[in-house]
Structure 1
Amino acid sequence: MEGPADTLSYMLLGYGVIFGIMVIYLISIAVRTRNLKQDEALLQELEKEKVQK
């Protein structure tokens, strides 16, 4: 009779893939937030120039 299957490596691989996807997602959110702030600053600058004219 055999014991339970040795699936520890698959479990660790699965956790690694999930963790990697989460890290990529968080980096994506950080980049999008930075770009949004840059766009906001540009729009505010354009609005200032429009008001001055």
Structure 2
Amino acid sequence: MNFTQSLGSSWNGYVGALETSSKFESMLGRAQAEQLRWSSKTCGRLHAKVKES
């Protein structure tokens, strides 16, 4: 099962429209970059708290 199929039938049309967009790939890249920034920021805070203890 691929990602689109895992969303269920109600999402297939929406995701299909996004996939045909020329900006879909850049949108995914920005989302991935934001996730990495958020993840590293959160992990950094947790690491600092452990060092303080």
TM-score range, shorter chain: 0.5 to 0.7
Identity between Structure 1 and Structure 2 (%) = 9
Match of 1:40 in 2: 51
Q: Match for 1:38: what amino acid?
A: K
* TM-score normalized with structure 2 length: 0.60
Q: Which runs of 5+ in 1 are unaligned?
A: 1-7, 43-53
How many residue pairs were aligned?
34
| Displacement after TM superposition at 1:9 (Å) | 1.9
Higher relative contact order (CA 8 A, sep 6+): 2
Q: Choose the corresponding residue for 1:13, options 9, 24, 34.
A: 24
Misfit runs of 4+, over 6 Å = none
> Of the two, which has the highest radius of gyration?
1
Q: Name the SS of the counterpart of 2:28 in structure 1.
A: helix
User: In angstroms, what is the RMSD of aligned CA positions?
Assistant: 1.4
Match of 1:26 in 2: 37
